[in-house]
Amino acid sequence: MTSNPALLLMLGAIPVPFLRGWVRGAWLVALPVAGLILLWTTPEGTQAGFELFGLAVEPLRVDALSRVFATAFHVAALLTMVYALHLRDASQQVAILVYAGAAIGGTLAGDLLTLFVFWELTGLASAFLIWTRRTERSYRAGMRYVIAQVISGLLMLAGIVERLHAGAGLEFSYIGLDGPGGALILLAIGMKCAFPVLHAWLQDTYPEATIVGGVALSAFTTKFAIYTLARGFPGTEMLIWIGVVMACFPIFYAVIENDLRRVLSYSMINQLGFMVVGIGIGGSLGINGAAAHAFADIVFKGLLFMSMGAVLLRTGTVNGSDLGGLYKSMPQTTALCIVGAASISAFPLFSGFATKSMIMQAVAEEHRTVAWMLLLFASAGVFHHAGIKIPYFAFFAHDRGWRVAEAPVNMRVAMAMAAIICLAIGMGPAWLYDMLPYPVDYVPYTTPHVVNQLQLLLLASLAFTLLIRTGLYPPELRSVNLDFDVVYRRVLPGQWNAALRGVTQVRTRLGVPLRQRTGRLLEVASGPLRPRGWLGAPWPTHVMVWWVALLLGVFLLMSMLYS
Amino acid sequence: MNDDDPRWLDEPRNVTRLVYGLVVLCALAFLADLFYTKDPHFGVERWFGFYAIYGFVVSTALVMSAKEVLRRVVRRDEDYYEPPERTRDDE
């Protein structure tokens, strides 16, 4: 008898609304822990498979790749649950459990049909984390989010159908771009893990989520897509360049973005870019690097979102232009945020250093100079906006006079747990390396690596300091920065409205005169047929006889001519 | 501690001290290239202080290009898409 951790979390969500107080809290925390135990006691291999219309369905497959991602999702679920303990309204807690369960279920899916079901379920369940903010703005953002998720699901469904049609079956293993349905499935994954141009929904909608929702969203959807990519498309050359673009372009936006949770969304795309590069390189180091970095990213990005959520809860804003000096009121949140910032920046002793460097090493071993230089640029860039900008503008910079309470205890506990994991990965990554799909012979702590990374980061922070001190650093401004979402939020609706206006105009300009003219034409043409028209009036008999004779004569003449 | 007590960081002199500290650290990091054997994959890694120079140059270039080019092109008013709605959050 085996049971699926995903079902445990999803079914465990049912009693949540009926529980109160500490009982509910204990239940919420116990579920992910129980799921994690269940995951690690499930032996490797596929379980509980059955046949559906002659197709093999394998809803539970545990192997090293799926287990490391599923473990990360359980950790994220636990952290998010602790972070959400203060909520009295159960709707978000239920949504998070279903959402986390769906991501775990998708990761453990052995066939494409199960994957598809969970693929859609993550999209739908997580939309409630945007809607439960209960504002007009978040309602619309949630709709845009759902549409993006559903489109991704439909693309995947089309890809699966194409595979079935080509006789490739339902099994979810290596798909490849050239395989049947490969392009469609890659496109579906590309939407969820924010390939360039397809990324707009992420930075558009994540910052509109609730405080707790932002933390949950940062963990599951995109990393679930990374897992799918790692299983279906390892070693796909194109992904290297897609990943490099993902790592580079968002950092420019992050520098000028005012909403600090949107800055984090951009830095998420940047980090996903590194993982996509790792998968594109493929091989044991590339895939290990992508999986390890996904694990680390789930925790440190969650930590950063948690700290910004705490700021949002206490001050009501996360705009850089309105914040500053919060370290005085929220010293613990500040310290924990800095741990997350150091982790994403890959400072030695923090998690990113032990994980991102595997991807850099994989790129270096293939001697891809341009990609490597650009990723190094992206590393300096992420330090700039996520490593320095986030803590600096929220907690330091100009004291804006915020005198607020420290974050609630449960939030601080969740952040502290995340910070401990960040440090545990950074200081002794062996336990994470042991979980990875391939044996690891990579050593992160070598003198050149530590020194080079410190050189890069210290000089980048010097650049930041000098730009701030000289006033050259762009001030935080209340503004909207156009990204690709302008296409579906402005251009396409604009075109549609223009087209509608055009049609109306055509109707008034052309339609009305045309109808008048045709009416008149009909009147003129039908005039003779009317009762008083010359055709309609009764004719004398002799005239009719003459006409008949004439017609018969013409007929006779014709038949004689052509016979 | 009361939130309104003056803090160490409120004193501009101390901030300047921190900046000098950072400069010293950077100089040390730059000179550290003298003291270890490199294990380069690329030719550029052999340059003296490559990582330090690259880190400084690209991050300055990043900020300045984002400010001078990207912001000029993509910046719009805050109510470009919809009127701003100040949200009172969860609970």
Residue A56, helix vs strand vs coil:
strand
Residues A247 and A175 in one domain: no
3-state secondary structure A294-336: HHHHHHHHHHHHHHHHHHHHHHCCCECCCCCCHHHCCHHHHHH
Contacts of A251 in chain B (CB under 8 A): 62, 66
Residues 26-85 of B with CB under 8 A from A: 26, 29-30, 32-33, 36-39, 41-42, 44-45, 49, 51-56, 58-60, 62-67, 70-71, 73-82, 85
- Contact state of B71 with A474 under an 8 Å Cβ cutoff: yes
The answer to whether position B65 is within a domain reads yes
- Contact state of A456 with B52 under an 8 Å Cβ cutoff: yes
Q: DSSP characters for A352-368?
A: HHHHHHHHHHHHHHTT-
At position A81, the amino acid (one-letter code) is: M
The answer to whether position B31 is within a domain reads yes
Report how many domains make up chain A.
3
The answer to whether position B57 is within a domain reads yes
Cα A541 from chain centroid? 87
pLDDT of residue A534: 75
* Nearest residue in chain B measured CA to CA from A450: B29
When CB atoms are compared, the residue of A329, A455, A456 closest to B3 is: A329
pLDDT of residue B86: 54
- Contact state of B54 with A380 under an 8 Å Cβ cutoff: yes
Q: What percent of chain A has pLDDT over 70?
A: 100
Residues A222 and A80 in one domain: yes
CB of B14 less than 8 A from some CB of A: no
The answer to whether position A546 is within a domain reads no
CA distance B77 to chain A (A): 5
Contacts of B81 in chain A (CB under 8 A): 480, 489-490
* Nearest residue in chain B measured CA to CA from A371: B42
A212: phi then psi, degrees, rounded to nearest 5: -70, -40
Residues A167 and A303 in one domain: no
Alpha helices in A398-511 (DSSP H): 409-427, 430-435, 447-469, 485-486, 492-506
Residues A217 and A245 in one domain: no
Residues A194 and A292 in one domain: no
A263: phi then psi, degrees, rounded to nearest 5: -55, -45
pLDDT of residue A24: 93
- Residue that is last in its domain, among A233, A266, A300: A233
> What tokens appear for A329 in the block?
């009121």
3-state helix, strand, coil in chain B (%, to 5): 60, 0, 35
Residues A227 and A240 in one domain: no
- Contact state of A86 with B55 under an 8 Å Cβ cutoff: no
Beta pairing, strands B75-76 & A55-57: unpaired
Length of chain B measured in residues: 91
The answer to whether position A502 is within a domain reads yes
Residue among A482, A461, A455 at smallest CA distance from A473: A461
* Nearest residue in chain B measured CA to CA from A405: B3
The answer to whether position A476 is within a domain reads no
Residue among A175, A181, A178, A206 at smallest CA distance from A192: A206
pLDDT of residue A402: 85
C-alpha angle A373-A377-A380 in degrees, rounded to nearest 5:
140
Confidence category of residue A1, pLDDT binned at 50, 70, 90: very low
Confidence category of residue A481, pLDDT binned at 50, 70, 90: confident
Residues A204 and A323 in one domain: no
Over residues A537-556, the pLDDT tens digits come to 777 888 889 989 999 999 99
- Contact state of B55 with A87 under an 8 Å Cβ cutoff: no
Q: Which domain holds residue B31?
A: 8-74
How far apart, in whole angstroms, are the C-alpha atoms of residue A329 and residue A254? 26
Contacts of A253 in chain B (CB under 8 A): 66, 70, 74
Interface test with A, best of B62, B68, B86, B88 (most A CBs within 10 A): B62
At which residue do the structure tokens 């080079």 appear? Answer: A452
DSSP 8-state class, residue A198: T
Contacts of B67 in chain A (CB under 8 A): 255-256, 472-474
pLDDT of residue B4: 67
CA distance B43 to chain A (A): 9
Residue among A453, A437, A276 at smallest CA distance from A359: A276
The tally of CA atoms less than 13 A away on the side-chain side of residue A222 is: 35
The answer to whether position B1 is within a domain reads no
Beta-carbon contacts below 8 Å between A and B: 191
**Average per-residue pLDDT for chain A:** 91
Burial of A393 (0-12, 13-18, 19+ CB in 10 A): buried
Residues A300 and A228 in one domain: no
Confidence category of residue B11, pLDDT binned at 50, 70, 90: confident
Confidence category of residue A384, pLDDT binned at 50, 70, 90: confident
The answer to whether position A381 is within a domain reads yes
User: What average pLDDT does range A453-482 have in this prediction?
Assistant: 89
> Could you tell me the sign of the dihedral formed by the alpha carbons of A527, A532, A538, A543, in that order?
negative
Tell me the C-alpha to C-alpha distance, in Å, between residue A241 and each of A294, A372, A373, B58, B61.
Answer: 19, 11, 13, 20, 22
pLDDT of residue A529: 80
C-alpha angle A210-A211-A214 in degrees, rounded to nearest 5:
75
The answer to whether position A545 is within a domain reads no
CA distance A331 to chain B (A): 10
pLDDT of residue B91: 42
- Contact state of B42 with A396 under an 8 Å Cβ cutoff: no
- Residue that is last in its domain, among A420, A442, A471: A471
User: What average pLDDT does range A468-496 have in this prediction?
Assistant: 86
Q: DSSP characters for A3-37?
A: --HHHHHHHHTTTGGG--HHHHHHHHHHHHHHHHH
User: Residue A62: beta bridge partners?
Assistant: A45
The H-or-E segment that residue A61 falls in is: strand A60-62
C-alpha angle A544-A549-A552 in degrees, rounded to nearest 5:
125
The answer to whether position B81 is within a domain reads no
Within 8 A by CB and 6+ apart from A436, the residues are A64, A68, A288, A291, A292
ipTM: 0.88
Residues A31 and A129 in one domain: yes
Interface test with B, best of A376, A455, A457, A484 (most B CBs within 10 A): A455
The answer to whether position A415 is within a domain reads yes
Residues A435 and A489 in one domain: no
- Residue that is last in its domain, among A214, A233, A252: A233
Over residues A73-86, the pLDDT tens digits come to 999 999 999 999 99
The answer to whether position B26 is within a domain reads yes
User: What average pLDDT does range A151-167 have in this prediction?
Assistant: 93
The answer to whether position B85 is within a domain reads no
Residues A215 and A272 in one domain: no
Report how many domains make up chain B.
1
The answer to whether position A267 is within a domain reads yes
Interface test with B, best of A456, A467, A470, A473 (most B CBs within 10 A): A456
3-state secondary structure A493-509: HHHHHHHHHHHHHHHHH
Contacts of A387 in chain B (CB under 8 A): none
Q: Which domain holds residue A496?
A: 485-513
Contacts of A371 in chain B (CB under 8 A): none
How far apart, in whole angstroms, are the C-alpha atoms of residue A33 and residue A40? 11
- Contact state of A459 with B55 under an 8 Å Cβ cutoff: yes
Confidence category of residue B2, pLDDT binned at 50, 70, 90: low
Residues A252 and A205 in one domain: no
The answer to whether position A548 is within a domain reads no
Q: Are A482 and B76 in contact (CB under 8 A)?
A: yes
- Contact state of B32 with A455 under an 8 Å Cβ cutoff: yes
Over residues A305-321, the pLDDT tens digits come to 999 999 999 999 899 88
User: What average pLDDT does range A475-501 have in this prediction?
Assistant: 87
pLDDT of residue A2: 53
